[in-house]
Amino acid sequence: METAVEVYKQFLSVVPGQPDAINNMGVCLIELDRSNEAIKILSDAVDIYSRDHELLNNLGNALQKSKRIEDAVARFHSALDLQPNNITILLNLSRNLLRLGEYDRALSYLEKARDLSPENANVAMVDTLALPVVYNSAEEIVTARERLTSKLAEMENQTWKIVDPATTVGQTNFFLAYQGANDKDIQSRVAALYLKSCPDLAFVADHCRPYKRGVGRRIKLGFVSAFLGKHTIGKLFQGLINGLDRNQFEIIVFHLGPDRRLEDKYLASLSDHVDHFLCVSSRYLQARMTISEMEPDIIYYTDIGMEPVSYFLAFNRLAPVQCACWGHPVTTGIPNVDYFISWQIHEPKAASQHYSEELILFSGFCTNYHPPSFASSIKGREAFGFNPDVNLYVCPQSLFKFHPMFDDMLVDILRQDKKAEIILLDGQQSNWGRLLKNRFSRSSVELTKRLSILPRLSSNDYFHLIKLADVILDTPIFCGGNTSFEALAAGKVVVTLPGQYMRGLFTSGIYIQLGLEDLIPNTPAGYVELAVLLATNAKERIKQEKRIKARWTLIFNNKETVFSHEEFFSEALAAAETKI
């Protein structure tokens, strides 16, 4: 691919401005994860050839890769104006409208695409799995879930052919987990449909059949993720990866995507601590080959479901033992994922019913988390435009975690505390905040007047905001993970409401580890009562913050999880050899 780019550069130096060459070079740059370069050359070409739908479509793809989704949608619309019945453009537009949270608009284009090409499996799958990002109501959750299961049943009764689904479908079932239900059946059915439609997903690496570990060598343990840098996943898992015994384990990090170590200190630090750090192509088939060539004994997927490449890699048998875990805390439904690793303090009773994998429940604590450092002095409230007299409730969660049932709890806080001001942070897409504000405007006048959504903040400003808060609000149904650790590291109380599944029990599990179960309310009313008490009663707030700080050593730099993983990895690999 690099060679192709150079060939196109040479050609364009002789024949400047040739649109086909520019278009092909742009596609190559996108595939090489050099999307900014692709945007530059394709944008320049579109300025000249404004009616070239292929240039516009590929510019949209490059913008999407750079997470400039609103800009991508604009380009796909322009391309569609020129080619109204082009299936590729319709599908690209629909996928990006879904990323923006424009659910109904996306469905209208998907319906048109299905009418034009009813046998197109990629369109059918995107249409089937389409979900809102921000729900208008609890009723919409029910309707969207029923639509998904109905469409899934229709697809199960037909024969489809999908090639390279990481590219052609290009998305996962990520947003399903935020509805707040048991997703095991749906996840398993989706995985079965993919396997039926794309048998190549059942690939088995040569070293896995039959498997026999070499005598006297270390266990080759591979971590697969696109997010082990400056990201929630990186912060949650680097302590585990760096802490594993190198006398027992040969550690391989398969980083999905381009090499960003120069600008990402987390990635740079990680690469210094492991035996092999490989930047793996975000092209699924190339990634599969790279991983299988390293012949790992165990693969640990930290966040299956958060992006397409690792999701579809997990279908393959690339190691004798393959594990998923709580980076994205929902079952994968994938047959070749052998184990889901979790913790007793974070799971409800009968938790195994929520997983297609064999559930491994460790005792003790979940992560070797290294807390962030906070500046000794913090910005004043005026720096953020806050009234100094208000009681500041900060909920720093992603906006797609705001289940409609949370609205009434927020309203109750505002009604019980007349000095309350609730602060949220804007999402990856600014449209998510607009959608949530629209929902709030239908729910309550208080939410429109005394709730603000701040623009996305730098890391420093984010930590200043957390320190300024009187109380941190957790989201019910799907609670915080890294955000809870960061708030607790700032000495703040995080008010949480335990959910039915692991994804709603993480923060409460931290309090169990701290021995502070009295800070876990059991009802929405109890949540509101505790939040208001802490925000309005400085003496009580300081008391509880001191209790948290006194027990920091129980949750920070706790290597218990490292030892639990080491023991499990050895036992699981021995079991895999026995099976053979």
pLDDT tens for 153-195 read: 999 999 999 999 999 999 999 999 999 999 999 999 999 999 9
- Do 318 and 419 lie in one domain? The reply is no
pLDDT for the residue numbered 447: 87
Residue 336: C-alpha distances to residues 50, 203, 253, 281, 322 (Å): 47, 10, 20, 22, 7
CA 482 from centroid of its chain's CA atoms: 12
- Do 224 and 331 lie in one domain? The reply is yes
Cis peptide bond N-terminal to 296, omega within 30: no
HSE-up (13 A, CA, CB side) for residue 84: 2
- Do 471 and 528 lie in one domain? The reply is yes
Residue 51: C-alpha distances to residues 45, 175, 376 (Å): 10, 35, 56
pLDDT for the residue numbered 544: 98
CATH of residue 1's domain is 1.25.40.10
- Do 26 and 75 lie in one domain? The reply is yes
138 lies in some domain: no
Residue type, 529: E
CATH of residue 355's domain is 3.40.50.11380
**Can you tell me the mean pLDDT for 529-556?**
98
**Can you tell me the mean pLDDT for 335-342?**
98
pLDDT for the residue numbered 9: 75
Length of the chain: 580
pLDDT for the residue numbered 21: 85
260 lies in some domain: yes
- In this predicted structure, the answer to whether residue 118 has a pLDDT above a threshold of 70 is yes
- Residues spanned by the domain of 408: 381-554
Q: What is the pTM of this model?
A: 0.95
**Can you tell me the mean pLDDT for 30-46?**
90
401 lies in some domain: yes
Residue that finishes a domain, picked among 30, 59, 84? 84
243 lies in some domain: yes
Query: What digits encode the pLDDT tens for the residues 366-408?
Result: 999 999 988 777 889 999 999 999 999 999 999 999 999 999 9
115 lies in some domain: no
**Residues with Cβ within 8 Å of residue 167, at least 6 apart in sequence:** 283, 284, 308
Angle at 67 between CA 426 and CA 405, to 5 degrees: 35
pLDDT for the residue numbered 389: 94
Distance CA 390, CA 339 (A): 48
162 lies in some domain: no
H helices within 130-243, ranges in order? Answer: 138-156, 165-168, 184-197, 232-243
- Do 360 and 401 lie in one domain? The reply is no
Distance CA 395, CA 476 (A): 11
Distance CA 510, CA 102 (A): 35
Angle at 272 between CA 269 and CA 277, to 5 degrees: 100
- Do 385 and 511 lie in one domain? The reply is yes
14 lies in some domain: yes
Distance CA 15, CA 496 (A): 62
- Do 430 and 352 lie in one domain? The reply is no
- Do 452 and 359 lie in one domain? The reply is no
- Do 406 and 541 lie in one domain? The reply is yes
pLDDT for the residue numbered 7: 66
What's the chain's average pLDDT?
95
**Can you tell me the mean pLDDT for 572-580?**
83
pLDDT for the residue numbered 8: 67
Give the number of domains in the chain.
Answer: 3
104 lies in some domain: no
- In this predicted structure, the answer to whether residue 580 has a pLDDT above a threshold of 60 is no
- Do 396 and 439 lie in one domain? The reply is yes
- Do 400 and 490 lie in one domain? The reply is yes
- Do 341 and 242 lie in one domain? The reply is yes
**Can you tell me the mean pLDDT for 472-480?**
98
